[in-house]
Structure 1
Amino acid sequence: MMTSFPRHGKAYLFSKVVNVTEGEKEERMMMTGLHTVADIFCVGCGSIVGWKYEAAHEKSQKYKEGKFILERFKVCGPDGNGYWVNHEAQVTGSDAEDA
């Protein structure tokens, strides 16, 4: 059973996520009790972006079963810029504006 896991600040609970693959199920002791979870990985880069709650062992935590946690830091980067180096370069004008 894993008793420590990466935590990078804010995390959000979702009922559906896309562009991820699931890892192996394992038991983890978390702040809210024992859970069966599977890490989820970005299909683009392979990085762990959070985990899926497969089973909650405490009645008060059952609402999490089948849901996903995405860690904001892992998805948006440390400064929240979504890992874009330069937003301006991503939103430049069209050729028609240069004419």
Structure 2
Amino acid sequence: MGRIFVVDLEGRTYKCKFCKTHLALADDLVSRASFLLLVGELAAFHCRRGKAYLFNNAVNITFGPHEERMMLSGTHTVADIFCCYCGQIVGWKYETAHENSQKYKEGKFVLERGRIIDGADSEFYIDTRPTLSDTEDV
């Protein structure tokens, strides 16, 4: 196996919980305000292992194969994403949304909250007040 090259991000970052490799910038987190504008309602992403968050970009990842996945919001073509350093699964990337109302997700990344930490090495928590849920990957 060859040498692994990783990108070090500057600013507030979110890292792999297992090896601390940078995965995303806080600036790439899809904010609640823009999410509300996109879907017209407050929703949260969920996965098999708990809450997850939508990002515009992610780095230091590798992709699994594309697969069709039925989620509560409809059928999507997705690829699981893995930390390039330790190989742990950290989320998925939306490749294609088959429903017009879900097209805003295409090309975006979902990182699972339980598998990332913030730059201060503490657990990553965003407003955890109860909300409506667009439960994903059930």
Max Rg structure: 1
Of Structure 1 and Structure 2, the greater helix share is in 1
Structure 1 spans left out of the alignment, 5+ residues: 1-5, 83-99
Q: Is residue 89 of structure 2 the alignment partner of residue 48 of structure 1?
A: yes
Question: Aligned partner of 2:63: which letter?
Answer: E
Match of 1:70 in 2: 111
Instruction: Please report the TM-score for the alignment, with normalisation by the length of structure 2.
Output: 0.50
Moved over 4 A (4+): none
Q: Hey, what's the Cα distance between the residues in 2 that align with 1:51 and 1:29?
A: 14
Matched position secondary structure for 2:68: strand
SS of match in other structure, 1:10: strand
| Residues 1-99 of structure 1 aligned to structure 2 (within 5 Å) | 7-76=48-117, 81=122
Tell me the TM-score normalised to structure 1 length: 0.69
Greater RCO, CA 8 A, separation 6+: 2
Task: Describe the SS at the equivalent of 2:69.
Answer: strand
- 1:39 and 1:50 in contact (8 A); partners too: yes
DSSP 3-state at the match of 2:103: helix
Aligned length: 74
Deviation track 1:33-85 (CA, whole Å, cap 9, x = no partner) reads 10000000001110110000000000100000000000010123xxx845xxx
**What residue in structure 2 maps to residue 92 of structure 1?**
none
Q: Secondary structure at the residue paired with 1:24? A: strand
